[in-house]
Amino acid sequence: MNNQVVIISGASGGIGRAVAKLLARKGNYQLILCDIDDEGLKEVINDLPGGENQSFIVDVGDKKSIKKLFNELSDQNLKATFLINTFGISPVDSKGDRIGLDKTSIDLWDRVFQINSTGVFLMCQAFLNQKGVLTEKDNPRIVNVSSAAAQLGGYRSCPAYIASKAAVIALTKSIARDYAEYGVLANCVCPGLIDTKMFQQGNPADNVASKVPLGRLGEAEDVAGAIAFLLSPDSLYITGASLDVNGGYRMA
Ligand SMILES: NC(=O)c1ccc[n+]([C@@H]2O[C@H](COP(=O)([O-])OP(=O)(O)OC[C@H]3O[C@@H](n4cnc5c(N)ncnc54)[C@H](O)[C@@H]3O)[C@@H](O)[C@H]2O)c1
């Protein structure tokens, strides 16, 4: 497999950045980095070796913004064969505390679903609708980032986040089933407690790492490694799976 064009959405974030760095190091990938955070995108792309990578400001909550991205790729005769969706929001209140069901407004619920679930749906749909992607000889791949919170009912994150991330797992399975005949592989990774900005904004307790059997928080690089595996030739018989990256925090 040579020079696969890979879209990494949420590329300015902790996990997205780590994926971009890892894939750039491995080579053979042309990276299309997207995020709503322009400053972050500049930092990431300036850090990467190789000149073929590109970055685009994309708001995954806006269908037009996603369409613009795919139109720009098509204008450049670029067809993405791998899609990694790492964006996400996990709202907390003004003190950094969890927003319980009783405090969840319909606006909050809709905003979280608009980004975390509808954003993944729109990105996957646009990716699969690209001309020629379903007749690719190499397996096109989708990796969506869900969360251990969706599997566990969560402890720290809000109900809207937990439910929106469960939708990502279900959507990914439906894509895996519907598009298997075209050789498309669609999988999720489900991170546990990963030490990024999103994790820190939720006021983690000092002893939180002691709840993880491996005795430490995950690093963004731990998740990036699992995503890279799901893009590699070593995972060709894996589809519709949810790969836990949680240090044993939740065991299936
Ligand atoms: N950190 C954890 O403990 C943890 C645990 C489980 C799952 N996750 C999931 O991992 C993924 C990456 O999270 P992270 O920890 O790197 O968080 P992060 O906050 O560092 O990164 C999230 C990224 O998503 C981007 N984003 C938000 N809204 C967007 C929009 N409308 N359009 C485009 N981009 C947008 C942000 O700008 C940011 O760069 C998320 O899906 C998150 O839910 C994280």
Output the domain CATH number for residue 113. 3.40.50.720
Mean pLDDT of the region 28-35: 97
Mean pLDDT of the region 129-153: 96
DSSP β-ladder status, 82-85 and 4-9: parallel
Packing angle of the helix pair 14-26, 38-47 (nearest 10 deg): 30
pLDDT band at 155 (very low <50, low <70, confident <90, very high): confident
Within a domain: 250 = no
Mean pLDDT of the region 128-147: 96
Mean pLDDT of the region 126-148: 97
Within a domain: 90 = yes
Looking at ligand 1, which atom is closest to the CA of residue 40? 39
Assess whether 237 carries a catalytic annotation. Answer: no
Residue-level length of the chain: 252
pLDDT above 60 for 2:
no
Task: Tell me what the pLDDT averaged over the chain comes to.
Answer: 96
Looking at ligand 1, which atom is closest to the CA of residue 62? 31
pLDDT of amino acid 206: 87
What is the whole-number distance in angstroms between the Cα of residue 35 and the centre of ligand 1?
A: 10
Within a domain: 31 = yes
**How many C-alpha atoms does 216 have within 13 Å on its Cβ side?**
4
Pocket around ligand 1: residues whose beta carbon is below 6 Å from it?
A: 10, 12-16, 35-37, 40, 58-61, 86-90, 115, 145, 147, 191, 193-194, 196-199
**What are the Cα distances from residue 104, in Å, to 8, 61, 100, 112, 166?**
30, 19, 6, 11, 17
Domain encompassing residue 113: 4-245
How many domains, the chain? Answer: 1
Within a domain: 252 = no
What is the whole-number distance in angstroms between the Cα of residue 137 and the centre of ligand 1?
A: 31
Within a domain: 251 = no
